[in-house]
């Protein structure tokens, strides 16, 4: 029993250490690269909105979604991006994150012809890598909540993409806390993905975004 307790303690310490190191790694790589004000953020031709579901299980609008929509509209109207790529999950006929975003971005005043959809953004890594490999962007402004932007910027840095982040409003309460706890584990997964050179689930034909 004592040996089992010692073994369990060692495993627990290892897990905590891996989470800590992964978190520090992301924070360092993204340091100084996220912005809260449209007045301060530099211009990029393209903004990359990271997908999420429009609704939560209760049927209410997902605030992470709504605040990303708002942030993308703010950035576009401030003249800090010319085009928007919405990258999200469209794994089934009944689940289509990119199209939902596009509809709300158009309602917010962004012309349809300035919005490009990436239906294979199943994970943050896929969205970031496909932004370069499919849409040809080596410089991009990522649009999501700050904690998510930092992880995406870390991926971009590893893939030789010059990325900054525009921070959508954060979400508080229980839902915000749960997401941030999951983010700690996502950063561990990120470290493993980069270590083992994980690639997107799909690539495909290139899409040309005009100047």
As a dihedral over the C-alpha atoms of residue 200, residue 98, residue 155, residue 136, rounded to 10 degrees, the angle is 80
- Helices 146-158, 124-133: axis angle to 10 degrees equals 50
SS3 (DSSP) at 172: coil
pLDDT of residue 6: 81
Please name the residue that has the structure tokens 């979604």: 65
Per-residue pLDDT of the chain (211 residues; tens, 9 = 90+): 777 888 888 888 989 999 999 999 999 999 999 999 999 999 999 999 999 999 998 999 999 999 999 999 999 999 999 999 999 999 887 899 999 999 999 999 999 999 999 999 999 999 999 999 999 999 999 999 999 999 999 999 999 999 999 999 999 888 788 888 999 999 999 999 999 999 999 999 999 999 8
pLDDT of residue 19: 93
Output phi, psi for 14, to 5 deg.
Answer: -60, -45
pLDDT of residue 92: 83
pTM for this one? 0.92
Residue 134, token pair as written in the block: 């499919």
SS3 (DSSP) at 89: strand
């Amino acid at each position: 029993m004592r040996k089992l307790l010692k073994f369990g303690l060692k495993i627990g310490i290892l897990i905590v250490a891996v989470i800590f190191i992964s978190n520090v790694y992301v924070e360092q790589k993204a340091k100084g690269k996220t912005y809260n004000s449209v007045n301060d953020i530099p211009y990029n031709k393209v903004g990359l909105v990271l997908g999420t579901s429009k609704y939560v299980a209760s049927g209410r609008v997902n605030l992470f979604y709504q605040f990303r929509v708002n942030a993308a509209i703010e950035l576009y109207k401030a003249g800090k991006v010319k085009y928007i790529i919405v990258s999200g999950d469209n794994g089934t006929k009944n689940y289509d994150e990119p199209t939902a975003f596009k509809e709300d971005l158009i309602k917010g005043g962004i012309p349809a012809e300035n919005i490009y959809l990436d239906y294979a953004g199943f994970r943050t890594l896929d969205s970031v890598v496909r932004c370069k490999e499919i849409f040809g962007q080596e410089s991009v402004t990522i649009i999501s909540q700050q904690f998510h932007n930092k992880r995406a910027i870390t991926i971009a840095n590893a893939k030789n993409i010059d990325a900054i982040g525009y921070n959508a409003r954060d979400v508080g309460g229980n839902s915000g806390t749960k997401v941030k706890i999951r983010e700690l584990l996502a950063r561990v997964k990120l470290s493993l993905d980069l270590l083992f050179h994980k690639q997107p689930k799909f690539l495909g034909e290139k899409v040309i975004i005009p100047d």
